[in-house]
Amino acid sequence: MTQPCISIIIPVYGVEEYIDRCARSLFEQTMKEGIEFVFVNDCTEDQSIDILEKILMEYPHRQNQIKIINHEINRGLGETRNTGLINAQGAYVWFVDSDDSIVPEAAAELLELCGCRDIDVLYFHADKMLPDMSHDDFGAPFSSDVIRLDEVLEKQIPLSACTAIFRKDFLLKNNLQFVPDLLHEDSDFSFRLFVFNPRVMFSEKQYYCYDNSRGGSIINSKSFRLQSDNIRILKRCSDFLAENHVPVFRARTIYEKIYRNCIVSNFPLDFIFAGDSKQLIKENKTAVINCLFKSRNFSAVILGGCLAVSVDLFIFQLKFFQRIACIKRVVFK
């Protein structure tokens, strides 16, 4: 096999109902050479790998482009992606979840865009299938051009590792890998990525197809675990920003993204763990207040002031801001 230009990394665990669709979308790429598929079996207990191997028999021209790596123990999505990254040979890498799919021309067109500019990250749009089987566009409001990182941070871009391809050397040079045992590890990964000022480009075309119809998928998870992991992300990224002496303006905009993603969007309050939630916030009060004030966002500063007074006041005000955010999403959709 010739040296690949792009490696597509696919974690495999518990996806026997979806791996057929995913694998066929990969093997039917219009790009015939210079592409590599790295499947990482995270000790799946179902027939996912058997199904994958049967499908592969139908695509003999792809045989030499495929690696199947087997974990000895289950490590979770983050470490499974890391295994794929370490074993990838391509100049660019793309993380594709095995319950999703990509369009046929994706790899070829994305690499063509990368070849035109010296970029580290290329973001693009996705077609998102919702639980009611309707579809939504998932992506950032930019045209196809190289964008200054500060412009990127000022926009509400999706923090998904699946809707971007990354220069592998940029990730390895900056030790950018996924954190083990963390829900929404894409957020943590993206916040740290921004610290190193990557050259970024956007495409408005939908190259990725999210299946968000599964009730049990990570993207649908709403639990106390999600709350505690968002606090963990907030603390990790705050420490990372301080350690790397990020310029004030960029640090402020990253803190604001942490606030919007970890607190407003993904901090569910209306469920049975209300007492545990209060204790979690109380135990991490200083770190949360620090992030809120450093973002210099008006609503975040209000929340920080509320939390300085009491946890109950903070939760009351956060519920209000979450309702406002929800209304905005519906009205301006």
Q: What percent of the chain has pLDDT over 70?
A: 82
User: pLDDT tens across 105-118, in order?
Assistant: 999 999 998 876 78
* pTM assigned to the model: 0.88
Q: Could you state, in order of their start, the residue ranges of all structural domains in the chain?
A: 6-218, 222-331
Looking at CATH, the fold of the domain delimited by 6-218 is given as Spore Coat Polysaccharide Biosynthesis Protein SpsA; Chain A (3.90.550)
pLDDT of 272 over the 50 cut:
no
End-to-end CA distance of the chain: 45
- 225-235 CB burial, b ≥16 within 10 A, e <16: ebbbbbbbbbb
Is 291 exposed, middle or buried, given 0-12, 13-18 or 19+ CB atoms closer than 10 A?
buried
Which tops the pLDDT comparison, 327 or 120? 120
203 in Cβ contact with 122 (< 8 Å): yes
User: pLDDT tens across 183-226, in order?
Assistant: 888 989 998 998 898 888 888 889 999 876 665 555 545 577 88
Which tops the pLDDT comparison, 110 or 322? 110
pLDDT confidence tier of residue 154, bands split at 50, 70 and 90: low
- Residues linked to residue 11 through DSSP beta bridges, in sequence order: 40
d(CA 277, CA 267): 10
Backbone angles phi, psi at 95, to 5 degrees: -95, 115
pLDDT of 307 over the 80 cut:
yes
H-helix or E-strand spanning residue 253: helix 248-258
H-helix or E-strand spanning residue 170: helix 168-173
d(CA 247, CA 241): 9
pLDDT of 100 over the 50 cut:
yes
